[in-house]
Structure 1
């Protein structure tokens, strides 16, 4: 008996779920294979979605018709917009989710999506012939055939967990590792290596003295992840709590460093630079007497807390002793200790921008198998891989995103062109066009692209058209309406601005950072009526979008012009006498790597891992461009 599908997706994590759901929605017959149907889209580490740059990726996933944003909104127990003190290009949404509800929501989607089928099993090898993938073989001995396969295996390929000196095979605690795929692909010529990540202990909230912590509440304004008109904050909202390590805690950890797999030679692979273990922190920042930690709830009613900032692979008894040295955790009880995990990944320079491998036609990689870290980065890759797997099956071309179109485009371009030498995490600093890639307008940038390939449904498209119409109506009114000095001067003086001596267009007044549309509408009845025509559920979102376009119009146009010209700058040569260590505008990592490697051109510099697009912009200034 032969089982045939258009596409097989291996692994039901965040990448696998987005890949399978997108391909199925586009019309392909998709089989999603997972070893545990009760852990679909498991939040293996932090029970949170979004954050700096990551939140922008989730907004882009939603704008393209993906599901992560809607599921996060439906399961959020706290929402915050980070970086509000900076400009809109830096605003980043972040939410705590109920971990169990998040998995339940994804399970409901994959079980009810037409064209999407599930199989509970592990894949031990691929079926490959004449340079193209043809299907998979499972541990149960079943062969499934397909024209495309998307591998989203997370940390399960050759997974090895480290609990101090104890090593246990597994891709996640209490879950077995996968063997066979790495070895098969290595024999075909794929370059593979090992990476390391880790996770902290889970805390019983009943054993925490919260009076010795600082509470961090969520926000209740209009912001959310999805552009769809869906309910928000439907679950009971919960607080996070901050606290600090101390010298006593550090001393306990320092005395046991020889038992840490990171420092006794047990772990050889490289971990994430920007999410270091507590052992790494006390060694790298030996002059620091304390490090900030966060207690983050795992669910709406759960007592389980994630201890952000205390990732560790030390023996469990050392972790407990160190935690008990922190006053708020003096009587701490843990559900399980932290641990490190090593796993196989493949050099992503072996991929095309579609995420199809160069060596095997029809084989796509997405997520941690490409050397990335984070749910959001994985989901973004999964969405692009799923779309392209479908388009290849239909001979319908390719779907890719440029660096000036999406953070997802930046992510994939970095992976394909630069490769990785440590787990890749997205930051706003990696994108040279941050003003173009704001979280507020991902729908404007990407939903028309999703509509063109059939991934955006009619409701999403109609919501975008309505938003565009109402936003542009506000901007047009601001261009045409003139304000008299006597009407606006009291407001200007109230915020410390000089009064006007003559009339001014509302548009020009809004260019001032201290004045916003909401303040103006209370003084200008005709403008208030225009705002009140916007549906209440979308009013704040649309007013904010219009105001951002007005206030940042000059910056947006300048960055757009830069994006249009950047391709002509690839042949610019770098002076060889430059002392990069004296260029403080460059990141520390960029100064070190540019000094060591001495690239001859801007293009070479851009492909060095750790040299960000922002660093490249600084080098362009150096070259007088």
Structure 2
């Protein structure tokens, strides 16, 4: 029934999808196994991609030839470039996405990828022989052989969903957990532990009063994530901002005695930088309000995601507290928030290729390694997929340096330091962050990926054209001489020091308060030379 595959990828979340696409595009024969073909690339939590440091990761994935940037652009309902008040190296793209469209576009792209097969089943165990992974065993009893296996199980390994005093097995709400893999790996000598994460309630947007909230529109210019020419949305949807208050906090506190987190029913450590609302009001008792972002889930749905209100308190407490928020007085809840606890494997058990040290040809990517976030998972999947392919061909693994990419920082942190809490990427983790800009990911990574055979000729041509343009502009600025009489009025308008003698444009642009566009606009000769760039 099944041929022998080069690579089997277990799990079709963000890590699994990128792993399968990368290995298949490199030429491996790939099987992607998922427990549910209808939930491929599900946005399990917030319907958004990117953000501070995370946006840089998505750009890096795209520069390498991954799909996340393209899919994000195709499903964007709002785009914002964050950190604009800081230097360009800190600018971070973020997109609000249509959750259902995101999943649909991912599946479409995977189905159009050569060498890639799908199968719906649960993987119960691994086929191990002579210290090597040789394939998988499924819940339906199939033994499927492969040269390499990539595990991207997300929150499904012995997952338990918690809502107040209720708990039940599940990898997501209404989806069963995966069993068998953890137990087998532990028997082989792996160390496992537990982590937890949570998600907010979903609300009927028709029941909200937006006049009591602050509108948050998208940017006029939609930059997007992909370096390819992907069509951007012509219109955007607004998000909204509101706040909790003391009444909300008091209501939430009435449920603390039934909170699985405070009652000790959850052993796993939660994400420090994405705490639940009950954790926030407990840890920051001096604060009388917390900001909430009201985010639409798509173009054609009224479902709303309440960003900042992650909770696992009893449903009735969630409901009462929500209705005390400004604009939520008549709110109707589609589904309550919940916490989920799951197995992970401390990532110090991996090589930098994401292959396990104990079992050859077995790779881990995503939340199984202790990370949190779609972007962190996707980039691990990309690298695990590349290296699983490399292993089947007896080729050297691809390992990005900390100076080359945020992806390199993430994997180096995981493998070198490990993590005891869900790991999230920040710009502060990257010592080379001023070099790792979101707008130069293609210059940093596309050529490397092109040489591997992953990035396309189209991508490489764009990089060559961009490099040539940069060099031409640098030469123009190096040669162009600026006369004080021409430019001093511009300097006065921006409260910058005037010049008394001629200077090269290149030197003037070193001033932190001088922007190239405005500078060139003040000099007709320079503007003419730069008009084609």
TM-score normalised per structure 2:
0.99
Q: Per the alignment, in what secondary structure is the counterpart of residue 529 of structure 2?
A: helix
Distance apart, 1:524 and its partner CA: 3.0
Q: In the alignment, which residue of structure 1 is the partner of 2:179?
A: 179
Q: Does 1:403 align with 2:402?
A: yes
Q: In the alignment, which residue of structure 2 is the partner of 1:125?
A: 125
Q: Relative to structure 2, which stretch is displaced further, 104-113 or 216-225?
A: 216-225
Q: In the alignment, which residue of structure 2 is the partner of 1:421?
A: 420
Q: What are the residue-to-residue correspondences of 1:239-318 with 2, within 5 Å?
A: 239-318=238-317
1:222, 1:308 → 2: CA distance? 22
Q: In the alignment, which residue of structure 2 is the partner of 1:375?
A: 374
Distance apart, 1:476 and its partner CA: 1.2
Q: In the alignment, which residue of structure 1 is the partner of 2:338?
A: 339
| Structure 1 vs Structure 2 CA RMSD | 1.0
Q: In the alignment, which residue of structure 1 is the partner of 2:472?
A: 473
8 A Cα contact 2:49 2:94, kept in partner? yes
Q: Provide structure 2 residue ranges, at least 5 long, that are not aligned to the other structure.
A: none
Q: What are the residue-to-residue correspondences of 1:527-606 with 2, within 5 Å?
A: 527-534=526-533
**Distance change (3 Å), C-alpha of 1:379 and 1:2:** closer
Q: In the alignment, which residue of structure 2 is the partner of 1:148?
A: 148
1:469-528 CA deviation, whole Å, 9 max, x = no partner? 111111111111110011111111111123211111101111112222211322333432
Q: Does 1:8 align with 2:8?
A: yes
Distance apart, 1:428 and its partner CA: 0.6
1:427-447 CA deviation, whole Å, 9 max, x = no partner? 011111111111111111111
Q: In the alignment, which residue of structure 2 is the partner of 1:355?
A: 354
Q: Does 1:455 align with 2:454?
A: yes
Task: Give the number of the structure whose residues are more often helix, by fraction.
Answer: 1
2:480, 2:526 → 1: CA distance? 9
Q: In the alignment, which residue of structure 1 is the partner of 2:102?
A: 102
1:484, 1:265 → 2: CA distance? 72
Q: Relative to structure 2, which stretch is displaced further, 108-117 or 508-517?
A: 508-517
Distance apart, 1:155 and its partner CA: 0.3
1:462, 1:393 → 2: CA distance? 29
Distance apart, 1:294 and its partner CA: 0.6
Q: In the alignment, which residue of structure 2 is the partner of 1:486?
A: 485
Q: Per the alignment, in what secondary structure is the counterpart of residue 128 of structure 2?
A: strand
Q: Per the alignment, in what secondary structure is the counterpart of residue 398 of structure 2?
A: coil
8 A Cα contact 1:3 1:143, kept in partner? no
Structure 1 consecutive aligned stretches of length 4 or more whose deviation exceeds 6 Å: none
**Distance change (3 Å), C-alpha of 1:452 and 1:361:** same
1:92, 1:79 → 2: CA distance? 11
Q: Per the alignment, in what secondary structure is the counterpart of residue 38 of structure 1?
A: helix
1:300, 1:528 → 2: CA distance? 41
1:491, 1:222 → 2: CA distance? 29
1:11, 1:88 → 2: CA distance? 36
1:535-594 CA deviation, whole Å, 9 max, x = no partner? xxxxxxxxxxxxxxxxxxxxxxxxxxxxxxxxxxxxxxxxxxxxxxxxxxxxxxxxxxxx
Q: Per the alignment, in what secondary structure is the counterpart of residue 327 of structure 1?
A: coil
Number of positions where the alignment pairs a residue of Structure 1 with one of Structure 2: 533
Q: In the alignment, which residue of structure 1 is the partner of 2:165?
A: 165
Q: What are the residue-to-residue correspondences of 1:20-99 with 2, within 5 Å?
A: 20-99=20-99
Q: In the alignment, which residue of structure 2 is the partner of 1:204?
A: 204
1:69, 1:2 → 2: CA distance? 32
Q: In the alignment, which residue of structure 2 is the partner of 1:580?
A: none
2:448, 2:378 → 1: CA distance? 18
1:242-265 CA deviation, whole Å, 9 max, x = no partner? 110000000011122001000011
Distance apart, 1:222 and its partner CA: 5.2
Distance apart, 1:532 and its partner CA: 2.4
1:377, 1:213 → 2: CA distance? 32
1:489, 1:273 → 2: CA distance? 51
1:474, 1:231 → 2: CA distance? 27
Q: In the alignment, which residue of structure 2 is the partner of 1:588?
A: none
1:306-355 CA deviation, whole Å, 9 max, x = no partner? 10000000010000001111121111001100000000000100000000
2:531, 2:343 → 1: CA distance? 55
Q: In the alignment, which residue of structure 1 is the partner of 2:495?
A: 496
Q: In the alignment, which residue of structure 2 is the partner of 1:594?
A: none
Q: In the alignment, which residue of structure 2 is the partner of 1:194?
A: 194
2:361, 2:322 → 1: CA distance? 49
Distance apart, 1:2 and its partner CA: 5.1
Distance apart, 1:142 and its partner CA: 1.3
Q: Per the alignment, in what secondary structure is the counterpart of residue 331 of structure 1?
A: coil
Distance apart, 1:292 and its partner CA: 0.5
Q: Per the alignment, in what secondary structure is the counterpart of residue 145 of structure 1?
A: strand
8 A Cα contact 1:237 1:300, kept in partner? no
1:35, 1:498 → 2: CA distance? 65
